[in-house]
Amino acid sequence: MFDPAAWLQASRPLAQVNLVVPLWLGQALAFAYTGAFSLGTLYAAHMFAALLLLVIVFSNDYADRDTDAANTTYNEFSGGSRVLPDGRLRPGELRDAAWLALVGLLGLSLYLAFGSCRPWTPGFVAAAALLVWIYNFPPLRLAYRGGGEVVQGLGTGVVLPLLGFYVQAGSLAAFPWLALAPLFLLGAVGNILTSLPDVPSDRAAGKRSYPVRRGQFVARRHSLELLVMAALMGGLVVPGLGAVGVALLAAPALALVARSVALLGSADAEQRDECRRFILLVAGAGHLQCVLWSLALVVVGFLRP
């Protein structure tokens, strides 16, 4: 029997922010560097993000079904949607739904390719699907073998900003390629953070996530260090941004990072409340930094001659 509540839970709406923020940033880059912006394209781009999220979360739940079943330290950011361990849906249903979402994503990309003269849009779908496969499934299955943070960095920090820029501008000729450096770092940080609560079950399952490989304390420290590095690279993202501007735009995110330092030595997965608070602060800092860069880019776009 169809259970709408179970499918809503499986879709993990909270995770949408991980895709929307870099996609919107890519579109803000297009506006700042080329002056291009279309509200209809904005809607289509975020429909793209919604379908891509379904491909990602359904695939992740299906691939991690055994590990998630043994996970007792999960929270709303990790451990899957819980619909499989709770018996609300069957693995095959999620597998088939992931394929269906991918078909819908391909259809949308073809519409953008032919209806909006964006012929390379299906290439972004292919890149995203390849990263989902590399992350979750053999032969590479980097989420288990190690390197999942690189895959997520490429997906949310490279593919999505490039897609956002391309669908608005129609070309990548004016894209500021160095801007991808801090965006990649923020994407990798996101993966490290969401792996933190799952360390006990990941270790038991032989899943070599970043916190399992490096240890929980080192992973938390590295997430802070990488985020600070990215925040201080704002001049690569926003054109004409001097040292003072970089500092001003980084200050709110760095304030959240500073608040998280008190949890650095104690927010292990077993301390579920502290672990959750650490993730909220640091992930919030990363998203806030992207939003502030995006707003600054919009201002730059409006000031274009």
- Residue 213: the pLDDT is 97
Structure tokens at 173: 């000729």
- pLDDT at site 55: 97
Burial classification of residue 284, based on how many CB atoms lie within 10 Å of its CB (0-12 exposed, 13-18 middle, 19 or more buried)? middle
CA 106/CA 108 separation, integer angstroms: 5
Domains: count for the chain: 1
pTM value is 0.96
| Structure confidence at residue 77 as a pLDDT band (50, 70, 90) | confident
- For residue 74, what is the domain's CATH number? 1.10.600
- Tell me the residue type at 144: Y
> Which residue did the predictor score with more confidence, 305 or 4?
4
pLDDT of residue 35: 96
What is the residue range of 139's domain?
Answer: 4-302
Q: pLDDT digit string (tens) for 102-142?
A: 999 999 999 999 988 999 999 999 999 999 999 999 999 99
**Average pLDDT for 214-236:** 98
Instruction: Encode 123-164 in three state secondary structure.
Output: HHHHHHHHHHHHHHCCCCCHHHHCCHHHHHHHHHHHHHHHHH
Residue-averaged pLDDT of the chain? 96
Q: What's the confidence (pLDDT) of residue 230?
A: 98
Instruction: Give pLDDT tens digits for 272-302.
Output: 999 999 999 999 999 999 999 999 999 999 9
Residues 279 and 260: their CA atoms lie apart, in Å, by: 9
pLDDT category, 90, cuts 50, 70, 90? very high
pLDDT of residue 1: 65
